[in-house]
Structures are given as C-alpha cells and as structure tokens.
C-alpha cells in the first residue's frame, strides 16, 4: 500500500513522467545511536539527491531518540523548515527544487548499554534518461 500510494503521487506529480518510465528503488535504513556514538545520514549536510523524487517513510523511532529532524532549505544559508516525522508512516517527499538534510540521531541514555533507533523506508523514483 505504501509503494502504491507513492506511485499514485508520482503519477499526479507528472514532472518526472509516468512511474512506468522511472526506476523505483526501495531502501531500508536503521539509524542506531548510543550516547557516545550518534548516527548520521549520508550525506549529513544539505543536499539534493540524485533521484528525482524521494519518499521518506518513518517506520519506527525509539522514545529515547534525539534529533532526526528533516531540514528543508532553499540554499545552504536559508533553512526554511524543520520537520520531525513522529508517527508510523509519517512521510516526507523531497525533490530537486529544495535542499534537504537530516540532523544526526542521538540517544538519551539511561545506562551505558542504551541505544536509540530510527527506522526509515526510502522509496526513490528516478526518471529513465533516454539520452544515455
């Protein structure tokens, strides 16, 4: 259902053509952080992805997680939004019009063995370049 909704969105978006003419990739990520070892997205700075449209779906995050906010920016000096995906299946969609980044994930540790997690599914759509 998740992917089906993403495909329907891209269908309506129209700017990258039909989903049948795009490469769709699904990436599963787990950020795992301890108090002394934060987890970083790659790249960790403001950027635009290679893919034309990227859906970021939150699957789970532990209650002791710190950070993990998404930043949306017009350029490196103008962050215009800070968004936190909090509920299961909260979704952010990014494209080439704005820069984005994710703040490092930390852990509010109670004991030295504690760790925090943030689980994400990325669904990416890349228009097939016919000129290549």
Binding residues for Fe ion, per CB under 5 A? 49
The least CB distance from residue 50 to Fe ion, in Å, is: 9
The least CB distance from residue 49 to Fe ion, in Å, is: 4
* Gap between the Cα atoms of 48 and 95, Å rounded: 7
What ranges in 2-129 are assigned the alpha helix state H?
Answer: 2-13
Looking at the Cβ atoms of 37 and 43, the one nearer to Fe ion is 43
Looking at the Cβ atoms of 18 and 76, the one nearer to Fe ion is 76
The least CB distance from residue 37 to Fe ion, in Å, is: 22
Looking at the Cβ atoms of 114 and 127, the one nearer to Fe ion is 127
Q: Which residue is nearest to Fe ion (CB)?
A: 49
* Half-sphere exposure of residue 125: CA atoms within 13 angstroms, side-chain side: 28
Does residue 86 have a cis peptide bond before it, meaning omega lies within 30 degrees of 0?
no
* Gap between the Cα atoms of 98 and 53, Å rounded: 11
* Gap between the Cα atoms of 98 and 95, Å rounded: 7
Looking at the Cβ atoms of 46 and 107, the one nearer to Fe ion is 46
The least CB distance from residue 48 to Fe ion, in Å, is: 7
């Amino acid at each position: 259902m998740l992917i089906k909704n993403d495909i329907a969105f891209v269908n309506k978006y129209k700017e990258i053509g039909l989903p049948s003419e795009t490469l769709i990739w699904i990436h599963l990520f787990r950020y795992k952080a301890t108090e002394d070892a934060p987890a970083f997205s790659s790249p960790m700075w403001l950027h635009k992805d290679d893919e034309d449209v990227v859906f970021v779906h939150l699957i789970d995050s532990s209650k002791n997680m710190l950070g993990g906010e998404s930043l949306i920016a017009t350029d490196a000096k103008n962050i215009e939004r800070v968004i936190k995906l909090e509920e299961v299946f909260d979704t952010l969609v990014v494209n080439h019009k704005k820069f984005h980044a994710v703040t490092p994930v930390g852990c509010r540790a109670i004991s030295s063995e504690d760790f925090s997690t943030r689980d994400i599914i990325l669904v990416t759509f890349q228009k097939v370049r016919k000129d290549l």
